[in-house]
């Protein structure tokens, strides 16, 4: 594997610095300073530890309820070592941790909560910079959203993927192979004992999913955005070199505090264009679209679904990873990781986009090296041609957009017309999935009211399991349409994120069983083949479903969440709010 690249700072021009932010707490000669300083002494710190040193927060999403992030408690110690070696004072604190395996109804319901909490914690405390530790799917975008909104010098460190799963002599991937084995179990092709043996073989170490699911995708895109050190995304969680990178990250955070290099200097339009292109090259998760839109909204950068489609369509799939390919993150890391991929893309990217190193991403492009051309393919010999990534569909069924991951779908279904089989809820569909449904391989399965408000929280259920009747016939893919998301590890001809969602009266709410639907992924179209006057009649007769029950966070979510084409962020959280506390202490 190419060595991890630590480019350091070039002393890039940044605005003149005022006295350290932490001095407003610790440098005060009166009561307020006394209160802050003597409580640090309570922790066993001498005055030497906080007399003039930059204070660096370590924001940790560690939790035993988030198994993918359980090792971050140890990784934080390596970050602390780097901060101390560079002359900073490290203060670690937790923020909401979001674990895909356990949280119900969906971690997406809580991404905005994690981002809001982290933003407020950073702003309210005497920090000069922050290192944010993330891993599992929603923790990384939540961290980036908060970093963009508070705009304090900040650097991300993702926890890294787990080692490859190994089952009966072959590599298996989290998520992707689970869906395959689950369908095989339902079809009677594997036994329950074999299924349990597979379960015990899949996750062999600390770390997040080792397929190119959402966690791996967002780690790679954080590196492409310039918000974490080069070489950080792909290294396995248990590789000792990740601990070195953690130390480097801690040391770099002290330099960021001194230089005043902020996320607003890094998260520019050029950075987002680079990330969109890298997402296409890695075959990234469809969830990345939602998260990039939300992060851009926080950063005040105008990025739309059309930008994502146009920019992504120009880049071929270069990384041969599940679910769109053969390999896993271990092989990607040993092949050179994101720096190697950037070197393949070369002038496709904006080389002058600034990174958290203080240097432009072009420096990373120059030093990246590909050590396995089977895993990271040349741009002239891609895994799949340009336009095979996530496509944005429009039409009368999705006037504000929908997405489909072309590289993960059966090619024969990418241009398809068929009759709809419609369900108003996931529960309704699952209740009859094993019945003798009136369904064929040409059917277009529609399950609605699974969007941001309708579920609420937009769960990862869009890769709907196939009816048992079709599995028995050997059918393994079907056009499926919903306003839900799907796991980045999943595959299939799944049309997702249909906007506006059914619960707010989007056209998906007007589809009847038997209506014909046409999907043309190449033309980027999704159309309900029903006359406009008939649709107008249906709309006049439509009544919205009851609002989801609940108070507290769920009520706040339903009242303020935006649609998928806006990243499903809260309307009142869009934009940069800065690092100044709301009020000064007296």
Per-residue tokens: 380: 């002239």
Share of the chain above pLDDT 70, in %: 97
By CB neighbour count within 10 A (0-12 exposed, 13-18 middle, 19+ buried), where does 167 fall?
Answer: middle
Residue 125 backbone class (left: φ over 0; alpha: ψ -120 to 50; beta: rest): beta
Phi/psi for 167 (5° steps) reads: -135, 115
H-only helix segments in 346-402: 361-367
In the structure encoding, which two tokens stand for residue 130, read together?
């922050």
106-120, 177-191, 375-389, 411-425: range with lowest mean pLDDT = 177-191
DSSP state of 459: -
- Predicted confidence (pLDDT) at residue 271 exceeds the cutoff of 60: yes
pLDDT digits (tens, 9 = 90+) for 87-136: 999 999 999 999 999 999 999 999 999 999 999 999 999 999 999 999 99
Residue 549: pLDDT above 90?
Answer: no
| Token pair of 264 as six digits | 């607003």
**Cα separations (Å) of 202 from 199, 331, 553?**
6, 16, 34
What would be the CATH architecture of the domain defined by 394-541?
3-Layer(bba) Sandwich (3.50)
Question: What percentage of the chain reaches a pLDDT higher than 90?
Answer: 81
Least reliable range by pLDDT among 159-163, 294-298, 386-390: 386-390
Q: For residue 586, what pLDDT is reported?
A: 61
Looking at the predicted structure, is the pLDDT value of residue 378 above 80?
A: yes
Domains of the chain by residue range? 25-164+204-367, 165-203, 394-541
Structure tokens belonging to residue 210: 């080792």
**C-beta pairs of 115-118 under 8 Å, 24+ apart in sequence:** 115/141, 115/142, 115/143, 115/145, 115/146, 115/149, 115/298, 115/573, 116/146, 116/570, 116/573, 117/146, 118/59, 118/142, 118/143, 118/146
pLDDT at res. 38: 86
Read off the pLDDT band of 548 (50, 70, 90). Answer: confident
**Nearest CA to 344 among 321, 322, 364?**
364
Q: Is the pLDDT of residue 445 over 90?
A: yes
Q: Facing residues of 129 across strands?
A: 56
Q: In this predicted structure, what is the pLDDT of residue 585?
A: 65
CATH fold label, 25-164+204-367: Rossmann fold (3.40.50)
Question: Residues with Cβ < 8 Å from 77, sequence gap 6 or more?
Answer: none
User: Predicted confidence band at 3 (pLDDT cuts at 50, 70, 90)?
Assistant: very low
Helix ranges, 191-286 (H): 192-202, 214-225, 240-259, 263-266, 269-282
Contact between residue 259 and residue 246 where contact means Cβ atoms under 8 Å apart: no
- Burial group, residue 177, by CB count within 10 angstroms (0-12, 13-18, 19+): buried
Contact 26, 50 (CB under 8 A): yes
Q: How confident is the model at residue 15 (pLDDT cuts 50, 70, 90)?
A: very low
Q: What is the pLDDT of residue 32?
A: 84
Q: Report residue 46's pLDDT band, with 50, 70 and 90 as the boundaries.
A: confident
In a 13 Å sphere around the CA of 301, the CA atoms on its Cβ side amount to 23
Own/partner long-range contacts of 176-183 (Cβ < 8 Å, ≥24 apart): 176/211, 176/213, 176/322, 176/323, 176/489, 176/490, 176/491, 177/202, 177/322, 178/202, 178/489, 179/463, 179/489, 179/490, 179/491, 182/465, 183/465, 183/466, 183/471, 183/476
Nearest Cα to Cα of residue 176 among 20, 289, 285:
285
The band of 397, judged by pLDDT with boundaries at 50, 70 and 90, is very high
Distance CA 278, CA 299 (A): 19
Whether 318 and 312 have beta carbons less than 8 Å apart is answered as no
Q: Which one, of 158, 166, 263, lies nearest residue 214 by Cα?
A: 158
- In whole numbers, what is the pLDDT of the chain averaged over residues? 93
If you average pLDDT over residues 254-260, what whole number do you get? 97
Question: What phi, psi does 346 have (nearest 5°)?
Answer: 50, -120
Q: Which residues contact 372 (CB under 8 A, 6 or more apart)?
A: 331, 334, 335, 336
Contact 175, 489 (CB under 8 A): yes
Instruction: Please state which of the ranges 1-5, 82-86, 163-167, 558-562 shows the lowest mean pLDDT.
Output: 1-5
Radius of gyration of the chain (CA): 24
**Chain centroid, CA 40 distance in Å:** 36
Count of residues making up the chain: 586
| Residue 560 three-state SS | helix
């Amino acid at each position: 594997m190419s060595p991890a690249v630590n480019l350091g700072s070039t002393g890039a021009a940044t605005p003149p610095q005022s006295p350290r932010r932490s001095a407003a707490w610790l440098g005060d000669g009166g009561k307020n300073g006394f209160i802050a300083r003597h409580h640090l002494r309570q922790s066993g710190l001498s005055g030497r530890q906080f007399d003039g040193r930059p204070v660096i927060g370590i924001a940790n999403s560690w939790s035993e309820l988030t198994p993918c992030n359980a090792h971050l408690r140890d990784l934080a110690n390596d970050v602390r070592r780097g901060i101390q070696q560079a002359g900073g004072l490290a203060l670690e604190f937790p923020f909401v941790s979001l674990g895909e395996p356990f949280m119900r109804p969906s971690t997406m319901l809580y991404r905005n909560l994690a981002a809001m909490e982290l933003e407020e914690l950073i702003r309210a405390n005497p920090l000069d910079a922050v290192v944010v530790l993330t891993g599992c799917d929603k923790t990384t975008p939540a961290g980036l959203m908060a970093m963009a909104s508070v705009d304090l010098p900040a650097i991300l460190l993702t926890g890294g993927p787990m080692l490859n799963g190994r089952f009966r002599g072959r590599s298996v991937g989290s998520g992707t192979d689970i869906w395959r084995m689950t369908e095989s179990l339902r079809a009677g092709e594997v036994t329950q004992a074999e299924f349990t043996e597979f379960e015990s073989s899949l996750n062999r170490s600390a770390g997040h999913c080792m397929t190119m699911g959402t966690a791996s995708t967002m780690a790679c895109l954080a590196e492409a955005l310039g918000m974490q050190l080069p070489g950080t995304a792909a290294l396995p969680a248990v590789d000792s070199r990740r601990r070195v990178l953690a130390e480097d990250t801690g040391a770099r955070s002290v330099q960021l505090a001194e230089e005043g290099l902020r996320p607003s200097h890094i998260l520019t339009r050029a950075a987002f264009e680079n990330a969109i292109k890298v997402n296409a090259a890695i075959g990234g998760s469809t969830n990345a679209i939602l998260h990039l839109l939300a992060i851009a909204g926080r950063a005040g950068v105008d990025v739309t679904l059309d930008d994502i489609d146009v920019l992504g369509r120009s880049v071929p799939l270069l990384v041969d990873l599940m679910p769109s390919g053969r390999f896993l993150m271990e092989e990607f890391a040993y092949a050179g990781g994101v720096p190697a991929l950037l070197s393949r893309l070369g002038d496709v990217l904006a080389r002058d986009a600034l990174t958290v190193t203080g240097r432009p991403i072009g420096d990373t492009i120059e030093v990246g090296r590909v050590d396995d051309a089977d895993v990271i393919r040349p741009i002239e010999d891609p895994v799949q041609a340009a336009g095979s990534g996530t496509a944005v569909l429009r039409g009368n069924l999705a006037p504000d957009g929908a997405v489909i991951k072309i590289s993960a779908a059966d090619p024969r279904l990418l241009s398809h017309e068929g009759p709809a089989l419609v369900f108003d809820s996931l529960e309704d569909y699952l209740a009859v999935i094993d019945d003798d449904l009136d369904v064929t391989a040409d059917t277009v399965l529609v399950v609605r009211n699974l969007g941001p408000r309708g579920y609420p929280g937009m769960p990862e259920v869009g890769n709907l399991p196939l009816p048992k009747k079709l599995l028995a016939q050997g059918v393994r893919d079907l056009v499926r349409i919903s306003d839900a998301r799907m796991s980045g590890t999943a595959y299939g001809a799944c049309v997702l994120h249909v906007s506006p969602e059914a619960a707010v009266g989007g056209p998906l709410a007007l589809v009847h069983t038997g209506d014909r639907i046409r999907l043309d992924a190449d033309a980027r179209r999704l159309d309900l083949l029903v006359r406009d006057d008939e649709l107008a009649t249906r709309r006049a007769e439509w009544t919205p479903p009851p609002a989801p029950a609940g108070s507290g966070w769920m009520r706040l979510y339903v009242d303020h969440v935006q649609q998928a084409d806006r990243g499903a962020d809260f309307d009142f959280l869009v934009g940069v709010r800065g690092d100044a506390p709301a009020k000064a202490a007296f």
